[in-house]
Chains A and B, each alone.
Chain A
Amino acid sequence: MATKTETNGPPREWHRPWGIAVGVALLLIVLPLVGREGAGVNLLNALVRFANFVVIPGMTYGSQLALGALGVTLIYAVMRFSDFAHGDTMAFGAMGVILATRVLQGMGISAGPLPTALLALPFGILGAVTLALVFDRTVYRFYRRQRAAPVTFVIASIGAMFVTNGLVRLIIGPSDQRFADGARFIIRVQAFKEMTGLSEGLALRTTQAITLVVAVVVVLALFLFLNRTSLGKAMRAYADNEDLALLSGINPERVALWTWILAATLATIAGTLYGLDKSFKPFTYFQLLLPIFASAIVGGIGKPLGAIAGGFVVAFSEIALTYPYRKVLDYLGFETDSLVQLLSADYKFAVCFIILVVVLIWRPRGIFQGRVI
């Protein structure tokens, strides 16, 4: 019999000491607030500041990581290896978008208040998909037919990583590129302050809103594809049980082809959104590999839903642990000299690593019970 996968987890125990601890902590925070003058406004200010510096960036970064991790997890589910070239695939796709953006801008085409890059997206996707398929045909297919061990695929993906990285540097160079145009803000700090009368402002950049919207649309489309179309179901079936999929007449080459197409598309979108939101630099994309792997593993590798959850867990941990809370606490009535920053921002990789290790040691299959490697 195949191992049983439990979806109905064990019944949750109520950890009384934890409950008491949380309760006491909440009381400690709430009591001084209620007792002070202007407490309500200050609480709002604290919330706005928290939203502005933790929630919104966390949602944005989380969406970007989720899209990247979806690609990694799809490749893992179908081909059973961790694709170390994925960060560079993201860079390659984003590079295509940047080049197409420049051409479109040169032709005087723009998307009004939205970044031109959105119009250029299909070109970037085309480029990344082409590259992925070239690698599949020239490299991975050979090992797939040999039924090679996963480590061989991983080493091959290192080769693909070097090649992709080299191509990106050859074509666009190693330096920073900014390609966001259109309106910068949807909500400006000043406007927000005037509107609400709070002393703390909240800004929502266009790129952040776009990231969220695009991520939602893409994820919905992906899940519709995987759950509603015959091809999507075949991919899930293949990921579930390769031998039985072959017996059902599912063509592994077709599944692999579409996996690469999906993964490269997701990578391009993730890379473009990240580049719009921050900036494009090939090496940064390589470094994204770590949080992306962390996201995929935390969620349970091979599980699309897990990749999304993992992306947000990693993004929020990274941002929440490296944000200095002094001003937020100020509003809540705790004045301190220290920054109240749990971890210096330079150590955001440490956050990924710690999450990774904690999950791998205590819950090796991740939140959503992914595969055991």
Chain B
Amino acid sequence: MRGNITMGRPFWLALAMATALGAVGVLQSWNVALAILNLQLISAVMALGVNIQWGYAGLFNFGIMGFTALGGLAAVLVAMPPVAEAWAAGGRGMAMAAITMTGTAAAVWALQRLIRIKALRGPAVVLVFVVGLALTRSFYGPSVAAIEAVDSSVTGFLGGLGLPITLSWLAGGALAAAVAWVIGRITLGLQSDYLAIATLGISAVLVAVLKNEDWLARGVKNVTTLPRPVPYEQDLQGQGWFMDLAARVGMDPFLLSGIVVKALYALLLGSVLLALFWLSHRALHSPWGRMMRAIRDNRDAAEAMGKDVTRRHLQVFILGSTVVGIAGAMLVTLNGQFTPAAYNPFRYTFLVWVMVIVGGSGNNGGAILGGFLIWFLWVQAEVGGPWLMAMVTSGLQEDSPLRQHLLNVAPHMRQLLMGVLLLVVLRLSPQGLLPEQRGKHGLAQQQITTEHS
């Protein structure tokens, strides 16, 4: 009986999702449906990343936003052409700043170990640190000013490598992984709540850096001219064969070009999702995955058996963050622009968490379903909210201030919806819509509520 449910449910839920998307295509437009699909694919990748950390290992990472933003930064750094003038103006100074900074860090590290007398260690380290900081700033400040002065309305930053943007998906993963290593080393000794708060904090810091360090990726001035991995609509419309195709299927070429471009994106994103899904599926059902879950379910026992829990946690933290970084790079690629101010924790951290919890933590398919479902609701609630409000307030007079206010704020109903959905699923089906498939020894009876402690 249970077998039927676990076999049948993913299928029916996926079918329902596809139907809903199809309904949007028919009722609204296929352009909208495909736009939703593309973001669903990216959301699913993000949820997959969170699921690796939370579902496999019980890690409370509330810093998803930061890793998404790092992926976005990678897109800029890989795909934008280098700004030669800026490099000439401030490149050398930046290099010097980087050297002095690493030098300071190395000196502090060395002093910590070399000075035997405990009482001397503190003042010496502080002294080196202050001198190093002053030196670094003396290089850094002027170079930043010089770089940001270079044609600041268009560039004003160092630019990137000028490589194809799809490469940035790998680079985004790598960048996120590198930062995750550093953050993980600092924070992973912490227990659940502390880890959540610390990662929430570090993600705020990361985004603050991206917003303010204009020389890096133009900060809040945004990078809006990112190249695309797929053709532009206008280019398609200029092609003879495309116009022929449009005529043959009997569709407006403007409309068709939009659909084709989005479908190409969907193909790219979808194949990444599939590849990551396959990899994480393999990982989950490998001895490594079993060990991770064992650590999650009973940390003390795993530790007693000689598993290096912190090291395993660092591993899984890096892996999950890598996946999130890839999603971040794909998101910026799809948007064609990098806007640091757009990163806010509701949308980029907590919404992803809702996806995982609602979808089913510990189950990769569940996380993907959650990504699809929650993104769909998030987008459609923005449309549906005002529609609903218009219905509710239709009894009021057209110019009544209450009605005006309610119509104005109606898009915010989606926050409410997400909260209620999360609470309801947590209560009625604490393992999510697609619960984790456990071993055959009765573990499936355990509730989410009694583990992850």
Chain A residues at the B interface, C-beta cutoff of 8 Å: 15-18, 21, 81-82, 84, 138-139, 142-143, 146, 148-152, 154-156, 158-167, 169-171, 173-174, 283, 286-287, 289-290, 293-294, 297, 338, 344, 346-347, 349-350, 352-353, 356-357, 360-361, 364, 372-373
CB of A294, distance to nearest CB on chain B (Å)? 7
A294 in contact with B196 (CB, 8 Å):
no
A166 in contact with B413 (CB, 8 Å):
yes
Q: Given contact pairs A154-B192, A174-B409, A297-B194, enumerate 10 new A-B contacts (beta carbons under 8 Å).
A: A17-B120, A18-B119, A82-B193, A149-B450, A155-B357, A159-B426, A163-B416, A165-B346, A166-B413, A347-B209
Chain B residues at the A interface, C-beta cutoff of 8 Å: 58, 60, 119-120, 122-123, 141, 186-187, 189-194, 196-198, 200-202, 204-205, 208-209, 211-212, 344-346, 350, 353-354, 357, 405-406, 408-410, 412-420, 422-423, 426-427, 430, 448-453
Task: Please pick, from B198, B406, B418, the residue contacting A357 in the complex, using a CB distance under 8 A.
Answer: B198
Please, how many angstroms separate the alpha-carbon atoms of A360 and B419 in the complex?
A: 30
B354 in contact with A286 (CB, 8 Å):
no
29 residue pairs bridging A and B, Cβ less than 8 Å apart: A15-B119, A139-B427, A146-B449, A151-B58, A151-B192, A152-B430, A154-B60, A154-B192, A156-B426, A158-B353, A160-B419, A163-B419, A165-B346, A166-B413, A166-B417, A170-B406, A170-B409, A173-B412, A174-B409, A290-B200, A290-B201, A293-B200, A297-B194, A347-B208, A349-B208, A350-B205, A350-B208, A352-B201, A353-B198
Task: Please pick, from A149, A360, A373, the residue contacting B449 in the complex, using a CB distance under 8 A.
Answer: A149
Is chain A's binding surface mostly helix, strand, loop or mixed?
helix
CB of B293, distance to nearest CB on chain A (Å)? 16
A373 in contact with B191 (CB, 8 Å):
yes
A346 in contact with B186 (CB, 8 Å):
no
Residue of B with least CB distance to A173: B409
B212 in contact with A283 (CB, 8 Å):
no
Q: Which one of A159, A346, A356 has the highest number of Cβ atoms from chain B below 10 Å of its Cβ?
A: A159
Task: Please pick, from B187, B202, B350, B427, the residue contacting A161 in the complex, using a CB distance under 8 A.
Answer: B350
Residue of A with least CB distance to B189: A361
Task: Please pick, from B405, B409, B452, the residue contacting A149 in the complex, using a CB distance under 8 A.
Answer: B452
Task: Please pick, from B60, B119, B211, B344, the residue contacting A17 in the complex, using a CB distance under 8 A.
Answer: B119
Please, how many angstroms separate the alpha-carbon atoms of A344 and B198 in the complex?
A: 21
Please, how many angstroms separate the alpha-carbon atoms of A139 and B428 in the complex?
A: 11
Q: Which residues of B contact A347 (CB under 8 A)?
A: 205, 208-209, 212
CB of A364, distance to nearest CB on chain B (Å)? 8
Please, how many angstroms separate the alpha-carbon atoms of A287 and B201 in the complex?
A: 10
B123 in contact with A17 (CB, 8 Å):
yes
CB of B305, distance to nearest CB on chain A (Å)? 22
B196 in contact with A154 (CB, 8 Å):
yes
Q: Which residues of B contact A143 (CB under 8 A)?
A: 449
B212 in contact with A150 (CB, 8 Å):
no
Q: Which residues of B contact A163 (CB under 8 A)?
A: 415-416, 419-420, 423
Q: Which residues of A contact B192 (CB under 8 A)?
A: 150-151, 154, 373
CB of A193, distance to nearest CB on chain B (Å)? 34
Task: Please pick, from A148, A158, A173, A360, the residue contacting B422 in the complex, using a CB distance under 8 A.
Answer: A158
A158 in contact with B350 (CB, 8 Å):
yes
Q: Which residues of B contact A283 (CB under 8 A)?
A: 344
B409 in contact with A150 (CB, 8 Å):
no
A169 in contact with B409 (CB, 8 Å):
yes
Known: A18-B122, A150-B192. A286 touches B418 (CB 8 A): no
Known: A149-B453, A163-B416. A346 touches B211 (CB 8 A): yes
Please, how many angstroms separate the alpha-carbon atoms of A118 and B416 in the complex?
A: 29
CB of A85, distance to nearest CB on chain B (Å)? 9
Please, how many angstroms separate the alpha-carbon atoms of A138 and B420 in the complex?
A: 11
Please, how many angstroms separate the alpha-carbon atoms of A82 and B62 in the complex?
A: 13
B197 in contact with A148 (CB, 8 Å):
no
Q: Which residues of B contact A156 (CB under 8 A)?
A: 423, 426
Q: Which residues of B contact A164 (CB under 8 A)?
A: 419
CB of A168, distance to nearest CB on chain B (Å)? 9
Q: Which one of B191, B209, B405, B416 has the highest number of Cβ atoms from chain A below 10 Å of its Cβ?
A: B416
Please, how many angstroms separate the alpha-carbon atoms of A81 and B453 in the complex?
A: 12
Q: Which residues of A contact B346 (CB under 8 A)?
A: 162, 165, 286
Known: A21-B123, A161-B419. A155 touches B197 (CB 8 A): no
Q: Which residues of B contact A349 (CB under 8 A)?
A: 201, 204-205, 208
Please, how many angstroms separate the alpha-carbon atoms of A336 and B416 in the complex?
A: 52
Q: Which residues of A contact B350 (CB under 8 A)?
A: 158, 161-162
CB of A198, distance to nearest CB on chain B (Å)? 31
Please, how many angstroms separate the alpha-carbon atoms of A150 and B194 in the complex?
A: 12
B357 in contact with A174 (CB, 8 Å):
no
Q: Which residues of B contact A174 (CB under 8 A)?
A: 409, 412
CB of A165, distance to nearest CB on chain B (Å)? 5
Q: Which residues of B contact A165 (CB under 8 A)?
A: 346, 415, 419
Residue of A with least CB distance to B190: A360
CB of A83, distance to nearest CB on chain B (Å)? 10
